[in-house]
Structure 1
Amino acid sequence: MTNKVTTEVDGNIGIITLNRPENNNTINVEMLEDLNSGLEELKMNDAVKSLILRGADNTFCAGADLLAFQDGELLTATSDIGLLRQVQKKLEDFPMPTIAAIEGVALGGGVELAACCDFRIADSDAELGFTEIDLGVFPGAGGTQRVPRLIGVTKSKELIFTGGRLSGIEAESIGLVDKVAGEDELMEVVIEFAEQFSDKPPIALQTAKAALNEVWRGSSLREGLLFESLAADIAFETEDRSEGMNAFLAKREPEWKGR
């Protein structure tokens, strides 16, 4: 890894920080490579019960690095679209709950990254939007597919066609973000939200998330119910299920083993 992304573990919370503050944490090839490695690293850490994605220096991510046009780097990133898709899928499929902590601006590719997370929590005066239309393109890295699943097709068309920006409060009102934090409270709110997953049985969380992601991916009801049945069978056969039942009957706190 270079230093375009940093990772840390705070208790049971994994934290990935997009780290190109001099460029408003815009996305380039190196950042994608580091993000891919960081996700893999935290995925293998059994201590991690949730993941926070944030940006350095009070800015989430201002999208793709347009300055990279000067040396052709953005064209390289475009030709290597497989890496971008791989990173997005790895974030979407991260086994434990994921939260995007949105501060400052989240534009274009920044919103598309946030949309890969399970939850989005924004600062009240954050700015979110898709500005690609004024560059003669559109958000083609999930913006026209994941975002409508969050806010509906019509609202997505308005955002994408006009290139307008929303405050954190406005984004919450249409469902683009799930919670809004007050001034200087974002990470406190995000960490408090993430901590509620720390005392949950990890296999049950993972299998529930996998089943819910089938809805996200547009599985039919029949396909989704089949996947749900298989996932539920996995959870039912775990030691944690037995521990949960026994703890409930004994009126004590369960001790999860993750197996």
Structure 2
Amino acid sequence: MSGSVTYEVDGDVAVVTLRRPEKLNALSPQMVDDLQRIWQRFADGDARAAVLTSEGERSFCAGIDLGDVTHDMWRCVPGLSVDLDKPVVAAVSGHCIGAGWVLAQYSDLIVATETARFVYPEGRVGAFGGLASGIVARVPQKVAAEFLMLGEPIPAARAYDVGMINAVVAPGEHVTRAMDWARKLAASAPLVIRTAKALVDQHVGQAAVEQHVRTARLLGRVSSSEDLQEGLAAFRERREPHFRGR
């Protein structure tokens, strides 16, 4: 791990923290790698719920670092690079921009401070990864169009009113509320929580770009597998391949 993202366990709750406040917690390629590994660790570990937050009150995440651009940001998104059947609660303060919104959106619950501002400015940058389009299935269509196309900030109070987030709290209280919810989730019957999460995700539906990402991930497992290399080697050497399923 680079230190720009940390993973700690508090009882049955995993705490994932973006720690790059000098860059407003903008996502670098290294942070994307770290987050992908962290979600796998969470999926495989004993923690029953996770809180995703950041260091500093000024910014949850300012999106992709435009000085060190990553082109596969989807790998760090909870539930996309790694299948998660355990809930994630995002605790947001300050700026939540572009890819930062995507991280929050794909969490199951979002707690934000009164100072939080949500914005998707990709139209001004000339880049569009597409994952934010999942908002169309989560809020009214006109609000989604406004958010994705106008690129104007939506303050926490309005984000709550239109259903983008679950709670608005005073500055400095977002992590406390998120931890409280995460502990309640962790103390609940795991099978019920997993089933409820799966059904919510199923009924929300998936944007076409999400389906594309999941398909690319599945195909990537094949194209980077040891079995593929073994199959090619066996063909060249005119022998039977010895596949190992990895």
Q: TM-score range by the shorter chain?
A: 0.7 to 0.9
Match of 2:15 in 1: 15
CA distance in 1, matches of 2:187, 2:61: 31
Match of 1:255 in 2: none
Q: Which amino acid aligns with 2:170?
A: G
| Aligned partner (choices 87, 102, 108) of residue 112 of structure 1 | 102
Rate the CA distance shift 1:56–1:39 in 2: closer, same or farther, 3 A.
same
Kindly state the Cα deviation for residue 25 of structure 1 after the two structures are TM-superposed: 0.6
| Alignment coverage as a number of residue pairs | 205
Unmatched 5+ stretches in structure 2 = 208-246
CA distance in 1, matches of 2:106, 2:4: 19
| Aligned partner (choices 185, 196, 218) of residue 173 of structure 2 | 185
CA distance in 2, matches of 1:101, 1:120: 6
Aligned with 1:17: secondary structure? strand
Kindly state the Cα deviation for residue 152 of structure 1 after the two structures are TM-superposed: 2.5
CA RMSD of aligned residues (A): 1.9
Match of 1:152 in 2: 140
Aligned with 1:122: secondary structure? strand
Kindly state the Cα deviation for residue 160 of structure 1 after the two structures are TM-superposed: 2.0
Match of 1:100 in 2: 90
CA distance in 1, matches of 2:127, 2:98: 11
Q: Is the 8 A contact 2:17 2:55 kept in 1?
A: yes
Q: Which amino acid aligns with 1:110?
A: G
Q: Is the 8 A contact 1:36 1:90 kept in 2?
A: no
CA shift digits 1:187-227 (9 cap, x unpaired):
121111212112212123223322332223359xxxxxxxx
Match of 2:185 in 1: 197
CA shift digits 1:208-259 (9 cap, x unpaired):
322332223359xxxxxxxxxxxxxxxxxxxxxxxxxxxxxxxxxxxxxxxx
CA distance in 2, matches of 1:156, 1:92: 26
CA shift digits 1:3-43 (9 cap, x unpaired):
12100011111110112111111012100100011111122
Alignment of 1:199-218 (within 5 A): 199-218=187-206
Match of 1:143 in 2: 132
CA distance in 2, matches of 1:211, 1:159: 26
Match of 1:54 in 2: 53
Q: Is the 8 A contact 1:109 1:141 kept in 2?
A: no
Q: Is the 8 A contact 2:137 2:206 kept in 1?
A: no
Unmatched 5+ stretches in structure 1 = 69-73, 220-259
Q: Which amino acid aligns with 1:152?
A: P
Bigger mean CA offset, 184-193 vs 95-104? 184-193
Q: Is the 8 A contact 2:36 2:82 kept in 1?
A: no
Rate the CA distance shift 1:190–1:41 in 2: closer, same or farther, 3 A.
same
1:133 aligns with 2:132: no
| Aligned partner (choices 58, 76, 86) of residue 75 of structure 2 | 86
Q: Is the 8 A contact 1:92 1:118 kept in 2?
A: no
| Aligned partner (choices 97, 122, 125) of residue 112 of structure 2 | 122
CA shift digits 1:66-106 (9 cap, x unpaired):
122xxxxx2xx22xx3xx33332347842211111111110
Q: Is the 8 A contact 1:150 1:175 kept in 2?
A: yes
Percent identity between the aligned chains?
25
CA distance in 2, matches of 1:175, 1:205: 21
Rate the CA distance shift 1:218–1:128 in 2: closer, same or farther, 3 A.
closer
Q: Is the 8 A contact 2:93 2:171 kept in 1?
A: no
Q: Is the 8 A contact 1:91 1:117 kept in 2?
A: no
Using structure 2 for the length normalisation, give the TM-score: 0.77
Using structure 1 for the length normalisation, give the TM-score: 0.74
